[in-house]
A = this chain, B = another copy of it.
Amino acid sequence: MIDKLVDKIQKLNAPIVVGLDPMLDYVPEHITKKAYAEFGETLEGAGEAIWQFNKAILDTTYDIIPAIKPQIAMYEQFGIEGLKAFKKTVDYAKSKDIVVIGDIKRGDIGSTSTAYAMGHVGSVKVGSKTYRAFDEDFVTVNPYLGTDGVKPFIDVCKEDNRGIFVLVKTSNKSSGEFQDRIVDGKPLYEIVGEQVAKWGEEHMGDKYSYVGAVVGATYPEMGAVLRKLMPKTYILVPGYGAQGGKASDLAPYFNEDGLGAIVNSSRGIICAYKMDNYAKFGAENFADASRAAVIDMITDITTSVGLA
């Protein structure tokens, strides 16, 4: 799956991923109105609204994006009905040949991590039958519990060439509180990064590992250090755009082969129609605004990083 992701990024010359993190506020009124008319102002109505929103964006962008990264929290807040919309989004994206990175940030001990892994990137047995529950291609994983927490994901991923991205340095302001603490003369995120590189050796694709890392766009110096520490690790880079990360800061996250990083934008794409730059599309054509924002993002990044 990492090979497929790399291949798609190269073919489209688009080292980007669209964060499908729909808040209800993001969804244009004509969509929520229709959903509420059918299902009421209910959790089911909310699920329908975000699913229709996602579907429209996928329909207008599927041919120019290699991957999506739905943030499961935005669905989970609506309970079962929200998670149904998550599952529909995953399935629909895969039917369009888009790679799906489930942003789930799970992590627990042993058999519990195995259960999460089976549910998201593996399969589960029920009697004599086998099922895939959420069925993403990749998921994000929290490393705080150590190897016991991460290894089960790698083991499950090996069975069907799925992959993970382990949180190393997150894009938020207080990420430094624990992640930047100095341990044996270096910050904790470097220790975690070294461990990610080691875990990654266990499950390699052609050039890159199935075990990737999350490193925020908001910390380019740290990105440069981590890039060197984890040469075969694909880096998922959140924080571009709305969170403040600039394309000019992204070069350190890439390797000399022009690969090794995939940059996420969520609000910058899915809420494009609300921004001055794309307001001309109007709320009715929000998905066309998203397509225009994707094209601009690709140009912005490939130009800045020297891939254009």
Binds B, one of A1-9, A118-126, A279-287, A298-306: A118-126
B80 x A83 contact (CB < 8 A): yes
Say if the beta carbon of A188 comes within 8 Å of chain B. Answer: yes
| Other-chain residue from B116, B129, B184 in contact with A182 (beta carbon distance below 8 A) | B184
Binds B, one of A142-150, A203-211, A257-265: A142-150
Chain A positions 181-208 with a Cβ under 8 Å from a chain B Cβ: 181-184, 188, 191-192, 195
- B-side contacts of A45, CB under 8 Å: 126-127
Given A36-B127, A115-B74, A108-B106 contact (CB < 8 Å): no
A176 x B80 contact (CB < 8 A): no
B112 x A73 contact (CB < 8 A): yes
Q: Nearest chain B CB to A202's CB is how many angstroms away?
A: 15
B71 x A128 contact (CB < 8 A): no
- B-side contacts of A172, CB under 8 Å: 109-110, 145-146, 148-149
Assembly stoichiometry (copies): 2
Say if the beta carbon of A43 comes within 8 Å of chain B. Answer: yes
A134 x B43 contact (CB < 8 A): no
A41 x B105 contact (CB < 8 A): no
| Other-chain residue from B21, B71, B82, B170 in contact with A119 (beta carbon distance below 8 A) | B82
B46 x A126 contact (CB < 8 A): yes
B174 x A76 contact (CB < 8 A): no
Interface of A with B (CB < 8 Å)? 21, 23-24, 32, 36, 41-43, 45-46, 71, 73-74, 76-80, 82-84, 87, 105-113, 115-116, 118-120, 124-129, 131, 133-134, 142-149, 167, 170-179, 181-184, 188, 191-192, 195
Closest 5 CB pairs of A and B: A79-B133, A41-B127, A146-B174, A146-B177, A77-B119
